[in-house]
């Protein structure tokens, strides 16, 4: 008689005495797969079909070993938990911080045009490679607030504000803008050590492209479990295309600063993805992060005035 056609209740006494059930499966294919696992480990088995499913039996002497092999196999082949998208903060949560960004840039632009406090803001604040290498670190930050004209200012306000809002959904507004300022300064620092000594630049665009890099890296890492193949690289491709479209070519465009800002943001974003769960991200923490960003910016300008 075919063992698989037997009902367990119809097993003869000898079968019941010497064979032990080590698993029951809803489908014959599942039982056969587990039987193959046992065969590979040197354990003989029998399958018995019934209304309750397909039972897998082994000799009583092999029962402990068979159960262990089946458990190991199931653990190794356990499907991964379904990937889920991390919760995003509402877009409006970043509005206040984005407004502060706009106000700071407008204030500095107006103050620079009027020579407020009797200072030449462009002279004491622009990012000049030789001066930065000589120790004037504050220029990596102050240059982010200076703009050549109104068009330059408005373009950085629009794109930077939009990217800041999106990034605030992932990191919170305070941490997002602190990361943007720091990565923008790092971008200027990288250019200072790779460009000729007389290379000079101004503008928030280095920080804007840093925000783009941060957003691309965080999105890429978070979507890696949800997208397969080339689709997982879509955030990176989008960032590179925006760099090519907006950050390369044209007059008075600091290509090196844009590339360095994007690279700094991308590296920082990848790091933040792994440490973000260990950082405080509540309301008070976001205020603290935002306060650090403002203090860094203000300290840089104070240093510029002190050495101007």
CATH number of the domain within which 49 lies: 3.30.70.1530
Q: Which of 29, 45, 76 is the last residue of a domain?
A: 76
Residue 127: which of 146, 140, 114 has the closest Cα? Answer: 140
Q: Is 194 inside a domain boundary?
A: yes
> Which pLDDT does position 8 carry in this prediction?
45
Of 17, 23, 20, 59, the closest CA to residue 42 belongs to 59
Whether residues 239 and 101 share a domain: the answer is yes
Q: Please check whether residues 56 and 96 belong to one and the same domain.
A: no
Do residue 44 and residue 114 come from a single domain? Answer: no
Q: Are residues 9 and 105 in the same domain?
A: no
Q: Which of 23, 65, 71, 81 minimizes the C-alpha distance to 48? A: 23
Looking at the fold, whether 122 and 271 belong to one and the same domain comes out as yes
**pLDDT recorded at residue 42:** 86
Total number of domains constituting the chain: 2
Together in a domain, 144 and 250: yes
Q: Say yes or no: 102 and 63 in one domain.
A: no
Residue with tokens 């499966």: 25
Using an 8 Å Cβ cutoff, are 243 and 259 in contact?
Answer: yes
CB atoms within 10 A of CB 299: 12
- Residue ranges for the chain with pLDDT beneath 70: 1-17, 79-86, 223-233, 247, 249-252
Measured between alpha carbons, how far is residue 245 from residues 209, 215, 248, 262, 276 in Å? 12, 17, 7, 14, 31
Token couple for 113: 């045009």
The DSSP code for 27 is: S
Distances (CA, A) of 29 to 8, 42, 193: 19, 20, 64
Is residue 85 in some structural domain? no
| Domain presence at residue 82 | no
Q: What is the pLDDT of residue 227?
A: 52
In this structure, the answer to whether residues 48 and 117 fall within a common structural domain is: no
Q: What is the pLDDT of residue 56?
A: 85
Write down the pLDDT at residue 308.
Answer: 73
Whole-number Å distance between alpha carbons of 208 and 191: 15
Question: Can you give the pLDDT at residue 230?
Answer: 55
pLDDT reported for residue 6: 44
Q: What is the pLDDT of residue 15?
A: 47
Confidence (pLDDT) at 35: 86
Q: Do both 61 and 119 map to the same domain?
A: no
Residue 176 has a pLDDT of 97
Cα–Cα distance measured from residue 202 to residue 181, given in angstroms and rounded to the nearest whole number = 14
| Model confidence pLDDT, tens digit, residues 36-66 | 888 888 888 888 888 888 888 888 888 888 8
* 10 and 135 co-located in one domain: no
Q: Indicate which CATH number applies to the domain containing 155.
A: 1.20.1540.10
Same domain, 168 and 251: yes
Taking CA atoms, 165 is separated from 88, 168, 231, 252, 263, in Å, by 11, 5, 24, 27, 20
**Domain span including residue 43:** 3-76
Q: What pLDDT does residue 7 have?
A: 45
> What's the pLDDT at 197?
95
Q: Please check whether residue 86 lies inside any domain of the structure.
A: no
Q: Is there a single domain that holds both residue 50 and residue 153? A: no
């Amino acid at each position: 008689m075919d063992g698989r056609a037997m009902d367990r209740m119809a097993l003869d006494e000898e079968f019941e005495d010497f064979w032990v059930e080590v698993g029951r499966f809803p489908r014959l294919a599942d039982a056969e797969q587990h039987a193959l696992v046992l065969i590979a480990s040197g354990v003989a088995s029998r399958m018995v079909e019934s209304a309750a499913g397909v039972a897998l039996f082994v000799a009583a002497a092999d029962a402990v070993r068979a159960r262990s092999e089946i458990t190991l196999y199931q653990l190794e082949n356990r499907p991964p938990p379904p990937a889920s998208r991390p919760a995003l903060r509402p877009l409006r949560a970043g509005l206040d911080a984005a407004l502060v960004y706009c106000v700071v840039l407008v204030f500095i632009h107006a103050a620079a045009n009027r020579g407020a406090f009797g200072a030449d803001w462009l002279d004491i604040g622009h990012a000049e490679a030789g001066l930065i290498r000589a120790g004037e670190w504050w220029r990596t930050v102050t240059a982010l607030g200076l703009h050549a004209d109104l068009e330059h200012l408005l373009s950085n306000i629009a794109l930077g504000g939009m990217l800041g809002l999106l990034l605030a959904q992932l990191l919170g507004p305070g941490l997002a803008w602190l990361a943007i300022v720091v990565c923008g300064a790092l971008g200027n620092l990288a250019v200072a050590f790779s460009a000729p000594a007389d290379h000079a630049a101004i503008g928030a665009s280095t920080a804007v492209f840093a925000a783009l890099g941060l957003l691309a890296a965080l999105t890429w890492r978070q979507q890696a479990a949800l997208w397969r193949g080339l689709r997982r690289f879509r955030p990176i491709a989008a960032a590179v295309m925006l760099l090519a479209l907006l950050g390369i070519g044209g007059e008075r465009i600091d290509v090196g600063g844009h590339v360095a800002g994007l690279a700094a943001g991308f590296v920082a974003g990848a790091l933040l993805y792994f440490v973000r769960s260990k950082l405080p991200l509540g309301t008070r923490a976001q205020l603290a992060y935002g306060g650090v960003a403002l203090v860094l910016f203000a300290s840089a300008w104070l240093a510029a005035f002190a050495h101007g």
